[in-house]
Amino acid sequence: MITEPLVNPDKRQKTVTAPHLRVPQTIHFILFEVVPFLGFITAIVLLLFGIPMTWVDLGLFISLWFLTQIGFTVGWHRLFSHNAFKANVVVRVTLAILGSMAAPGPLLLAVAAHRRHHEYADQPGDPHSPHLFGEGVTDQIKGFWHAHDGWLATNREHPNTIHYVPDLLRDKALTTASRYYWLWVILGLVIPAILGGVLTNSWLGAFQGFLWGGLVRMFFVNNLINGVNSFCHVLGGRSFNTPDHSRNNLWLALPSLGEGWHNSHHAFPQSAIFGFDWWQVDIGGWVVLILEKLGLIWDVKIPKADTIKAKKAFLAARKAT
């Protein structure tokens, strides 16, 4: 991902090619994909050498994981990408900031890329489909890597934000939040370091807080987000015979707070709830319902049971013909 929204005045132009941005795109990939991975390796090595993960470290990891993952799934995905509900400016900005702390790229570009993904799901034009590289084993491995991480560094055609996110460009609060993306990412690393130092009254605690609540947490959340692009288009069950390759994954749905119900999401992209069956745990959806009860959001879109049943039958019949 690069760090500024790309705008071509021609709304009909869906992508923008900007060769001069290859360097910042690569820098972003190294800083927020490679460095968190190295942080994860460092944490494992420290554990092996007898420097444990303390209760403070665990608390920082869990709290920052939950907050940033909620920011992404409830804010960036359900609200900003799909307009699944409406929210006041405080909720919108809070969710934008929390999602930014996961470092998935600036808000406007990330949302534009996701809307383009739904437009061309698993077809040429999809920014991160694992199914566009051939049928051989090597091709499938290449496709999986592209979907999981590679596209963030190698995509040269970026979505034209004026085409894909004109609604967000009109939201001054969100455009401002997106403009300060780097600040939110840095705060996501600094805050756990400060809390770790204060709560343990030690420099080691500050380092451990930065490591576990910052880098390791960022590595974990990024791989949850990326895992939806890769695993959830390759492995899992299909409740709906959608024309793409989307899948549902329980094991990914739990830590991603509902994102793993990806096939259900592709069947009803504007739904604020991803888990339609009673056993499909969707913590992000539960947060949406809580916010609605508190009056902080409204116009929440959830398909009725008969609508879900009819859609399932329609997709099954279309595939059979």
Q: What is the CA radius of gyration of the chain?
A: 20
- Are the beta carbons of 133 and 143 closer than 8 angstroms? yes
Give the model's pLDDT for residue 317.
Answer: 87
Percent of the chain residues topping a pLDDT of 90:
88
pLDDT in the model for residue 1: 46
Whole-number mean pLDDT of the chain? 94
Q: Is the pLDDT at 321 greater than 70, yes or no?
A: no
Mean pLDDT over residues 6-17, rounded?
74
Q: Is residue 265 part of a domain?
A: no
Query: Are the C-beta atoms of 155 and 127 separated by less than 8 Å?
Result: yes
Q: What is the mean pLDDT of residues 14-25?
A: 85
Task: Give a yes or no: residue 54 inside a domain.
Answer: yes
Provide the whole-model pTM: 0.94
- 3-class DSSP assignment, residue 147: helix
Counting the structural domains of the chain, the total is 1
Which residue has better confidence, 302 or 2? Answer: 302
What pLDDT is stored for residue 123 in this prediction? 96
* Across 210-233, average pLDDT: 98
- Residue 46 is part of which domain span? 15-238
Q: How far apart are CA 29 and CA 26, in angstroms?
A: 5
Q: Is residue 87 part of a domain?
A: yes
Q: Are 266 and 121 in contact (CB under 8 A)?
A: yes
- Mean pLDDT along residues 261-285: 98
User: Which secondary-structure segment (H or E) carries 62?
Assistant: helix 55-70
Neighbours of 317 (CB within 10 A): 10
For the stretch 45-95, pLDDT in tens is 999 999 999 999 999 999 999 999 999 999 999 999 999 999 999 999 999
Of the candidate ranges 3-17, 46-60, 96-110, 220-234, the one whose mean pLDDT is the lowest: 3-17
Whether 35 is covered by a domain: the verdict is: yes
Predicted confidence at residue 18, as pLDDT, reads 76
Q: Kindly state the helix (H) or strand (E) to which residue 113 belongs, with its residue range.
A: helix 107-119
Q: Is 288 inside any structural domain?
A: no
Indicate if the pLDDT at residue 122 is higher than 90: yes
Question: Quick one: DSSP state of residue 232?
Answer: G
For residue 117, the Cα-to-chain-centroid distance in whole angstroms is 13
Predicted local confidence at residue 20, as pLDDT = 77
How far is Cα 247 from Cα 266, in angstroms, rounded to an integer?
Answer: 9
Tell me what the mean pLDDT of segment 138-146 comes to: 96
Q: State the DSSP H helix or E strand holding residue 158, giving kind and residue range, or none if neither.
A: strand 157-159
- Counting beta carbons within 10 angstroms of the beta carbon of residue 138, is it exposed (0 to 12), middle (13 to 18) or buried (19 or more)? exposed
What pLDDT, on a 0 to 100 scale, did the predictor assign at position 17? 84
- For residue 10, is it within any domain? no
Contact between residue 260 and residue 251 where contact means Cβ atoms under 8 Å apart: yes
Rounded to 5°, the CA angle 38-40-43 comes to 110
Mean pLDDT of 112-134: 96
Residue 75 structure tokens: 């804010």
pLDDT tens sequence across 188-217: 999 999 999 999 999 999 999 999 999 999
- The residue type at 205: G
Instruction: Say if CB 32 and CB 2 are below 8 A apart.
Output: no
Report if residue 120 sits inside a domain.
yes
Query: How far apart are the C-alpha atoms of 78 and 82, rounded to whole Å?
Result: 5
Is 302 domain-assigned?
no
